[in-house]
Amino acid sequence: MLISTDVDRAVEVIRAGGLVAIPTETVYGLAADATNAAAVKRIFEVKGRPVDHPLIVHLASADQIDGWASSVPPTARRLIEVAWPGPLTIILPRADGVLDEVTGSLDTVALRVPAHPSASELLERVGVGLAAPSANRFGAVSPTSAEHVFHDLGDRLDPARDLILDGGSCPIGVESTIVDFVNDPPQVLRAGGVPVEDIRRLLDGVLANASGPSRASGMLASHYAPSCEVRLVDDADDAFARRARTPNSEILDLTDDLVAYAHDLYARLRDADARGVGTVIAVMPAPNGLGHAIRDRLLKAAAPRPD
Ligand code: TXA
Ligand code: MG
- Collect the ranges in the chain with pLDDT lower than 50: 212-214, 217-218
The per-residue pLDDT for range 232-250, each reduced to its tens digit, is 999 999 999 999 999 999 9
224 φψ region: left (φ > 0), alpha (ψ -120 to 50), beta (else): left
Centre of ligand 1 to C-alpha 134, Å, is: 8
Percent of all residues in the chain with a pLDDT value above 90, rounded to a whole number: 87
Is the minimum distance from the CB of 26 to ligand 1 under 6 angstroms?
Answer: yes
19 φψ region: left (φ > 0), alpha (ψ -120 to 50), beta (else): beta
Specify the pLDDT at position 304: 86
Centre of ligand 2 to C-alpha 151, Å, is: 16
Centre of ligand 1 to C-alpha 216, Å, is: 7
Specify the pLDDT at position 214: 46
CATH topology of domain 3-209: DHBP synthase (3.90.870)
**Burial environment of residue 221 by CB neighbours within 10 A (0 to 12, 13 to 18, 19 or more):** exposed
* From 46, 56, 217, mutation site for ligand 1 pocket: most ligand atoms within 8 A of C-beta: 56
Specify the pLDDT at position 212: 46
CA 260, 174, 134, 132 dihedral sign is negative
The per-residue pLDDT for range 258-295, each reduced to its tens digit, is 999 999 999 999 999 999 999 999 999 999 999 999 99
Neighbours of ion ligand 2 (CB under 5 A): 134
Q: What is the DSSP string of 87-132?
A: SEEEEEEBPTT--HHHHTT-SEEEEE----HHHHHHHHHH-S-EEE
Sketch the domain layout of the chain as residue ranges.
Answer: 3-209, 229-302
How much is the CA Rg of the chain, to the nearest whole Å? 19
Q: Peptide bond preceding 159: is omega within 30 degrees of 0, i.e. cis?
A: no
> C-alpha 246: how far from its chain's center?
31
**Burial environment of residue 182 by CB neighbours within 10 A (0 to 12, 13 to 18, 19 or more):** buried
Specify the pLDDT at position 300: 92
Specify the pLDDT at position 219: 57
Centre of ligand 1 to C-alpha 189, Å, is: 10
* From 43, 89, 181, mutation site for ligand 1 pocket: most ligand atoms within 8 A of C-beta: 89
* From 172, 175, 179, mutation site for ligand 1 pocket: most ligand atoms within 8 A of C-beta: 175
Centre of ligand 2 to C-alpha 247, Å, is: 31
CA dist 25 and 192 (Å) reads 12
Specify the pLDDT at position 216: 54
Is the minimum distance from the CB of 171 to ligand 1 under 6 angstroms?
Answer: no
Ligand 1, atom 32, residue with closest C-alpha? 216
Locate the ligand 1 atom nearest the alpha carbon of residue 175 and give its number: 1
Residues in a beta bridge with 91? 110, 180
**β-sheet with 249-252: strand ranges across:** 229-233, 279-283, 249-252
Is the minimum distance from the CB of 145 to ligand 1 under 6 angstroms?
Answer: no
Is the minimum distance from the CB of 90 to ligand 1 under 6 angstroms?
Answer: no
Q: Which of 144, 118, 9, 136 is nearest to 58 (CA)?
A: 118
137 φψ region: left (φ > 0), alpha (ψ -120 to 50), beta (else): beta
Q: Are the C-beta atoms of 261 and 174 separated by less than 8 Å?
A: no
Is the minimum distance from the CB of 110 to ligand 1 under 6 angstroms?
Answer: yes
Whether pTM exceeds 0.75: yes
Q: Phi and psi dihedrals of 111, rounded to 5?
A: -130, 145
Fill in the DSSP letter of residue 215. -
